[in-house]
C-alpha cells in the first residue's frame, strides 16, 4: 500500500495536546488505521502520515524531510512486522517517541517495552486494542513530559579528569544538596537525601555522574565521602537543634566498605559533628550490598550495630534474592526511580514496584520510592502502600541553606 499523507482539519482549540506534533501511524488493517487517525484528529493532531507495514513506514521516513515526533505502530503486520521495524528505527537513531498498539497479551507487551528500550527507542507506552482517545491523550502528554525533562536528569559519561576533580575537592567546591523524603500517608518530611554537587567555577553546578565514577575507579572516593558525611551530619544536627525532627541519608560507595576499618571512621565523622548515628541512613546500591566480600558484610553489620540505618539503594536493578536480603540487617528498601517513573503506564514496571514493596513489607523494613515525578506517580505509590517517597514532584535537590525554610513552608 502506498503511504498516504493526511492533513487533518486542524483544531480550533490551541490547548489540544497533540496539535503541533507530527505523527506516523503504522497499521496493516485499513479500518483500524482509519480509526486511529480519526482519534488523533479529534485530539487536534494536524499532521498524520500513514503506512501499512514496516517497509512502507521506513519509506515514508526516508521521503519526509521533517522528523516525526511520535510513531504509532502495530506489532503483528505482514511484510516487516513491528519488532523488526522498531529495531530498524533504533539502528537509524530515529528520535521519535514510540507508541505500540497491539492485540497481544499483556505479558508480551511487557517484553515489547524492554525490547524497545534495548534498541534505544523512547517508548511512551502501549495501547491494547481497541485504542481509545483517552489513552492516546495520556501518552501524548507523556511525550511532552519526556521532551521537557530538565537538564538535571541528563546522564552521560564523565566529563572531568581525576586531576580536575581532585583539584575541585581541594578547593572545597563540593557540597551536599538535599532532597526531602516524605511519608506518603501523613505528608510529613522525615528527612533528606544528601546528593553531591560540585560548584564548578566555570561549569555551574555539576551532577554526580560526571565525577563519582572518576573517583571510584581511581580508588579515591573516600575524601568526597568524608566531606559529604561531615557536612550532612553537621546540617542534620543544626536542623534537629532548630526543632526539626529529621534524619539524613548519605550514599556510600561499596569500594569503601571493603576497608576493614571503615565502620569506625564513618562513625567518627558523624559523632564528631554532634549527631547520633541513629539519625543517619547509609545508602548502599543493591548490587554493592549483595557483594559476598567478607569485609563488606562485616562492615554493614558493625554499622548497623552502631545504630546507623542501612538502605538498599536502586532496588530492582540488581538480582538479590530474599535469602540474600535477610543476611544483612537493612532498615530501608529504596525502589529504583526507573520503575517508579514508569509504573503508572508500564505493566512491567508496576509489577516490579509492587513486588519490591511487598518484599519490604515481608522484611519488615521501610519502603522508599525515588523518582516520583508526577501527581499520578504519587497517588499510585500511596495506593500501593509505599511508606516514603522522594522526587521532583515534591522537590528537586536544593542547597543546604534553602532546606530548613522549605521544610517550614511544606509543613
User: What are the catalytic residues?
Assistant: 370
Does 299 bind Mg ion (CB under 5 A)? Our answer is no
Does position 69 bind ligand C2E by CB under 6 A? no
Closer residue to ligand C2E in complex, CB, 32/291: 291
| Nearest residue to 207 (alpha-carbon basis) of 236, 165, 245 | 165
391 interacts with ligand C2E by CB under 6 A: yes
Q: Residues 314, 332, 377, 387: which binds Mg ion (CB under 5 A)?
A: 314
Q: Is 397 in the site for ligand C2E (CB under 6 A)?
A: yes
* Contact stretch for ligand C2E (CB under 6 A) within 79-87, 322-330, 387-395, 398-406: 387-395
373 binds ligand C2E (CB under 6 A): yes
Region near ligand C2E per CB under 6 A, out of 13-21, 134-142, 269-277, 390-398: 390-398
Q: What Å distances lie between residue 209 and 36, 147, 154, 214, CA to CA?
A: 41, 21, 9, 9
Based on CB atoms, which residue is closest to ligand C2E, 11 or 173?
A: 173
Q: Is 208 in the site for ligand C2E (CB under 6 A)?
A: yes
Sheet holding 97-102, edge to edge: 4-7, 47-51, 22-26, 70-74, 97-102, 122-128
Q: Smallest Cα–Cα separation from 313: which of 395, 193, 208?
A: 193
Separation CA 339–CA 350 (nearest Å): 7
The CA R_g of the chain, rounded to the nearest whole Å, is 24
Contact 309, 333 (CB under 8 A): no
In this chain, which stretch among 201-209, 231-239, 250-258, 302-310 interacts with Mg ion, using CB under 5 A? 250-258
Residue 219 C-alpha cell reads as 580508588
User: Which of the 8 DSSP states describes residue 68?
Assistant: P
363-402 positions binding Mg ion, by CB under 5 A:
370
Q: Considering the complex, what minimum distance in angstroms separates the CB of residue 284 from ligand C2E?
A: 9
Here's the x/- map for ligand C2E, 25-54, by CB under 6 A: it reads as ------------------------------
Give the HSE-up count for residue 44: Cα atoms under 13 Å, Cβ half-sphere: 14
Residues of 86-122 as b/e, b for ≥16 C-beta within 10 angstroms?
A: bbbbbeeebebbbbbbbebeeeebbebbebbeeeebb
| Listed ranges 84-92, 286-294, 391-399, 402-410: which one lies at the site for ligand C2E (CB under 6 A) | 391-399
| Interaction between residue 332 and Mg ion (CB under 5 A) | no
Cβ neighbours around 157 below 10 Å, total: 7
**What does the per-residue mask of binding to ligand C2E show for 231-270, with x meaning CB under 6 A?**
--------------------x-x-----------------
Of the pair 85, 315, the CB lying nearest ligand C2E is at: 315
What's the CA gap between 321 and 314, in Å, rounded? Answer: 15
Query: What gap in Å lies between CA 121 and CA 86, rounded to an integer?
Result: 8
Which of ligand C2E, Mg ion, none has residue 391 at its interface (CB below 5 to 8 Å by kind)? Answer: ligand C2E
The contacts of residue 137 (CB under 8 Å, 6+ apart) are 17, 18, 43
Window contacting ligand C2E (CB under 6 A); options: 39-47, 85-93, 108-116, 222-230: 222-230
Q: Is 135 or 337 the residue whose CB approaches ligand C2E more closely? A: 337
356 in contact with ligand C2E (CB under 6 A): no
Q: Is 251 in the site for Mg ion (CB under 5 A)?
A: yes
Rounded-to-integer distance, Cα 152 and Cα 230, Å: 25
CB-wise, 27 or 314, nearer to ligand C2E? 314
Task: Single out the residue of 73, 179, 190, 400 in contact with ligand C2E (rule: CB under 6 A).
Answer: 179
φ, ψ of residue 4 to 5 degrees: the values are -120, 155
Kindly give the interhelix angle for 347-363 and 106-118, rounded to the nearest 10 degrees: 100
- Of 69, 286, 370, 387, which lies in the binding site for ligand C2E, with binding defined by CB under 6 A? 370
In the list Mg ion, ligand C2E, none, the entry touching 356 (Cβ below 5 to 8 angstroms by class) is none
- The answer to whether the CB of 44 falls within 8 A of the CB of 18 is yes
Q: Which residues bind Mg ion (CB under 5 A)?
A: 251, 283, 313-314, 370
Q: Which residues bind ligand C2E (CB under 6 A)?
A: 153, 179, 195-196, 207-208, 212, 221, 224-225, 228, 251, 253, 283, 313-314, 337, 370-373, 390-392, 397
Amino acid at each position: 500500500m502506498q503511504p498516504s499523507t493526511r492533513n487533518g482539519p486542524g483544531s480550533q482549540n490551541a490547548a489540544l495536546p497533540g496539535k503541533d506534533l507530527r505523527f506516523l501511524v503504522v497499521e496493516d488493517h485499513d479500518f483500524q488505521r482509519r480509526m486511529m487517525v480519526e482519534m488523533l484528529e479529534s485530539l487536534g493532531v494536524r499532521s498524520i502520515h500513514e503506512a501499512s507495514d514496516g517497509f512502507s513506514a521506513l519509506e515514508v521516513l526516508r521521503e519526509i524531510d521533517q522528523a516525526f515526533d511520535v510513531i504509532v505502530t502495530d506489532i503483528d503486520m505482514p511484510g516487516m512486522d513491528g519488532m523488526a521495524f522498531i529495531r530498524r528505527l533504533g539502528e537509524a537513531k530515529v528520535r521519535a517517541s514510540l507508541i505500540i498498539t497491539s492485540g497481544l497479551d499483556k505479558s508480551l507487551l511487557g517484553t515489547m517495552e524492554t525490547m524497545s528500550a534495548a534498541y534505544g527507542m523512547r517508548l511512551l507506552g502501549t495501547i491494547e486494542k481497541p485504542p481509545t482517545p483517552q489513552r492516546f491523550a495520556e501518552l501524548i502528554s507523556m511525550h511532552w513530559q519526556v521532551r521537557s525533562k530538565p537538564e538535571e536528569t541528563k546522564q552521560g559519561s564523565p566529563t572531568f579528569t581525576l586531576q580536575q576533580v581532585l583539584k575541585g575537592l581541594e578547593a572545597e567546591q563540593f557540597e551536599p544538596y538535599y532532597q526531602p523524603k516524605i511519608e506518603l500517608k501523613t505528608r510529613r518530611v522525615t528527612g533528606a537525601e544528601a546528593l553531591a554537587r560540585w560548584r564548578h567555577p566555570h561549569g555551574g553546578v555539576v551532577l554526580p555522574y560526571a565525577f563519582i565514577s572518576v573517583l571510584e575507579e581511581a580508588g579515591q572516593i573516600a575524601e568526597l565521602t568524608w566531606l559529604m558525611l561531615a557536612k550532612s551530619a553537621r546540617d542534620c544536627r543544626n536542623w534537629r537543634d532548630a526543632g526539626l525532627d529529621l534524619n539524613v541519608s548519605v550514599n556510600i560507595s561499596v569500594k569503601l566498605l571493603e576497608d576493614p576499618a571503615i565502620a569506625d571512621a564513618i562513625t567518627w565523622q558523624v559523632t564528631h559533628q554532634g549527631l547520633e548515628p541513629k539519625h543517619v541512613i547509609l545508602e548502599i546500591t543493591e548490587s554493592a550490598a549483595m557483594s559476598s566480600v567478607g569485609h563488606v558484610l562485616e562492615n554493614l553489620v558493625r554499622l548497623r550495630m552502631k545504630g546507623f540505618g542501612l538502605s538498599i539503594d536502586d532496588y530492582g536493578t540488581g538480582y538479590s534474592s530474599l535469602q540474600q536480603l535477610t543476611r544483612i540487617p537493612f532498615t530501608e528498601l529504596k525502589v529504583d526511580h526507573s520503575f517508579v517513573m514508569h509504573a503508572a503506564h508500564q505493566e512491567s514496571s508496576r509489577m516490579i514496584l509492587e513486588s519490591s514493596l511487598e518484599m519490604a513489607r515481608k522484611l519488615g523494613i521501610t519502603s522508599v520510592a525515588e523518582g516520583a515525578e508526577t501527581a499520578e506517580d504519587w497517588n499510585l505509590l500511596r495506593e500501593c502502600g509505599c511508606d516514603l517517597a522522594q522526587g521532583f514532584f515534591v522537590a528537586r535537590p536544593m542547597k543546604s541553606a534553602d532546606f530548613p525554610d522549605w521544610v517550614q513552608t511544606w509543613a
